[in-house]
Chain A
Amino acid sequence: MNGRVITVTSGKGGVGKTTATANIGAALASIGKKVVCLDADIGLRNLDVVMGLENRIVYDIVDVVEGRCKLRQAMIRDKRLEELHLIPAAQTRDKNAISPKDMQRVCDELRKDFDFILIDSPAGIERGFKNAIAPADEIIIITNPEVSAVRDADRIIGIVEAEQKGPPKLVINRINSDLVERGDMLAVADVLELLAVDLIGIVQEDQAVLVSTNRGTPIALEPRSKTGQAFRDIARRLAGEQVPFTRANGGGFLGRLSKLIRAGSKKDA
């Protein structure tokens, strides 16, 4: 197997990186892919609680890197999905406990056994971020339709391009259609026009995400949730399927949006 390493990052904190990582991971596993999620936010780990696996941690990524355990021992298997795994971050150490080289080594090992290695990046552009993108084959950038999140996303896109990681893919998270309709929130088409990158997902603002996080059950596993569907759509797109962006998750300016997407996919071809 030659797994794909995909880093989920954003620049700005609080836009939904960890939630997206957990949900995309769960969605990929639910379509039969072998997935491991790796928390690269050392010192501020959270992917474990969002995935609902916090009570089963024995070892973490720093233990692996420092040779206190085997990679397999640090891996927690999800209780709902056989193919979903987590490698937690260390909570009592800092970002300097591991290096970009360590991350590459760990990921090269993981590529042999998994289809997807999803890395949850810390916010910012410092060491932790560098660790997170060093082994990446692909980058997913999460943003919100809000000035500071879009600005930070643009910085990250610039850095990722300079690092020759290829064009990143964008997830626009927490779109509120009512605000977009009122003209008080940037529409998907606005964000795409500003950032000029390809879109891979649109996720509406949804209080059910808070509820599912409270329970430690990714919303992607709830078959009737629209937000869950948005994450499952992202997973299918990552797996290579052509999944159309629908009105339900578009939020206004659909005509312009689909035009932009068509232009984007033509560029790829």
Chain B
Amino acid sequence: MRSLAGLLHRRGSASTAKERLRLVLIHDRSTLPPGAMEALRDELIEVISRHVEVDRGAVRLEIAQEGRTQRLIAEIPLKKRNTPLSDDF
């Protein structure tokens, strides 16, 4: 069992190390250069927008880890259909 002092210290430097490593390993494992995510995000939005209206500000693109497998996860909210009718209608 962990000591009380150990529990209080849970946010010691080890948790910082783990979090930093978690992030750096995502990039090390990825064949996608760090700067390429932004470009990929913009291009995805552009392609999808040709077919359906996208809520651009809310698009999220990230690399998720499952064991040693990486998965590109995109969350692309669509604009609501029920926009108010314009005045001249």
Residues of A at under 8 Å CB distance from B? 146-147, 150-151, 154-155, 157-158, 161, 179-187, 190, 194, 196-197, 252-253
Contacts and interface: CB of A to CB of B under 8 A. Distances in A.
B21 A150 contact: yes
A158 B68 CA distance: 9
A198 B14 CA distance: 21
A185 B14 CA distance: 5
Contacts of B22: 194
Nearest to A194: B21
A181 B3 contact: yes
Contacts of B65: 196
A197 B18 CA distance: 16
A161 B70 CA distance: 14
Contacts of B5: 181-182
A150 B3 CA distance: 26
A154 B17 contact: no
A182 B20 contact: no
Contacts of A184: 9, 12-14
A174 to B, nearest CB: 14
Interface residues of B, number: 23
Given A147-B17, A151-B25, A187-B14, A181 B2 contact: yes
B17 to A, nearest CB: 5
B6 A190 contact: no
23 contacts: A147-B17, A147-B21, A151-B28, A154-B28, A157-B68, A158-B28, A158-B68, A181-B2, A181-B5, A181-B6, A182-B12, A183-B6, A183-B11, A183-B13, A183-B15, A186-B17, A186-B21, A187-B14, A190-B14, A190-B18, A194-B18, A196-B65, A252-B6
A179 B5 CA distance: 12
B10 interface: yes
B29 interface: yes
A58 to B, nearest CB: 43
Contacts of A180: 14
Nearest to B29: A158
Q: Which of B13, B21, B28: most chain A Cβ within 10 A?
A: B21
Given A147-B17, A183-B15, A186-B14, A252 B2 contact: yes
B67 interface: yes
Contact of B25 (A154, A186, A190): A154
A182 B22 CA distance: 21
B68 A197 contact: yes
A253 B14 CA distance: 13
